[in-house]
């Protein structure tokens, strides 16, 4: 069975106090729980590091974008490395003793990330085309303003209401919301992610 493992660490974490680090980790945990109602697992490690299992790998890029957008709203950033593959052992109390190709791929890709890079993907089922898509997403994401990230975060919220209500909650008009999403490159990203997601479902990454 194919799974996805996300491994991350907060960027410039030395600037954060202990309380701010705790709040950042809780923020990551909350977003992950909102996306995974099936019971994926989250573990914090090494102070500013974290890891999570997400059992819907065909949707994992959407989740990664949601995490990045939500953190950007809070003035935070985390590198995120996605490993795709099998999980041999899910671990005991947490993920510290879990193992399998998905964990190895995620950890290795994080170690290989370049300066300034915040998103990567690796694993035996991952093609060169998959990596190319993630490179382009990473470049686009790096230029998000806080306001653009906020609009993307609201749009990706699995508990979102209507677009009009999302705009109203931000205190802006629907047209302003649309403009922010367009400036963030989200319409094109959404189309690309839909094509990518459909292809992965067809390849058996997850049931439709």
> What was the pLDDT predicted at 128?
95
pLDDT value, residue 39: 58
pLDDT interval class at 166 (50, 70, 90): confident
Q: Measured between alpha carbons, how far is 99 from 127 in angstroms, rounded to an integer?
A: 22
Looking at the structure, give the CATH architecture of the domain made up of residues 3-202: 2-Layer Sandwich (3.30)
Instruction: Work out the pLDDT band at 38, boundaries 50, 70, 90.
Output: low
Label residue 41 by pLDDT band (50, 70, 90).
Answer: confident
Question: Residue 1 has what pLDDT?
Answer: 84
Q: Where are the domains of the chain?
A: 3-202
What average pLDDT does the structure give for the chain?
Answer: 92
């Amino acid at each position: 069975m194919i799974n996805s493992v996300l491994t991350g660490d907060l960027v410039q974490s030395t600037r954060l106090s202990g309380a701010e680090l705790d709040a950042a980790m809780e923020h990551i945990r909350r977003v992950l729980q909102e996306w995974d109602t099936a019971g994926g697992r989250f573990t914090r490690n090494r102070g500013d590091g974290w890891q999570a299992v997400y059992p819907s790998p065909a949707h994992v890029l959407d989740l990664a974008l949601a995490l990045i957008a939500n953190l950007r709203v809070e003035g935070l950033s985390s590198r995120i490395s996605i490993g795709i593959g099998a999980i041999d052992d899910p671990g005991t109390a947490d993920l510290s003793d879990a193992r399998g190709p998905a964990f190895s791929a995620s950890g290795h890709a994080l170690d290989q990330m370049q300066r300034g890079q915040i998103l990567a993907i690796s694993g035996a089922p991952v093609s060169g085309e998959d990596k190319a898509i993630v490179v382009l997403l990473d470049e686009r994401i790096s230029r998000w303003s806080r306001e653009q990230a906020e609009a993307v975060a609201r749009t990706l919220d699995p508990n979102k209401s209507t677009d009009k209500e999302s705009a109203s909650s931000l205190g802006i008009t629907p047209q302003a919301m649309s403009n922010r999403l367009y400036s963030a490159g989200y319409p094109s990203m959404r189309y690309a992610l839909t094509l990518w997601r459909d292809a992965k479902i067809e390849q058996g990454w997850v049931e439709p």
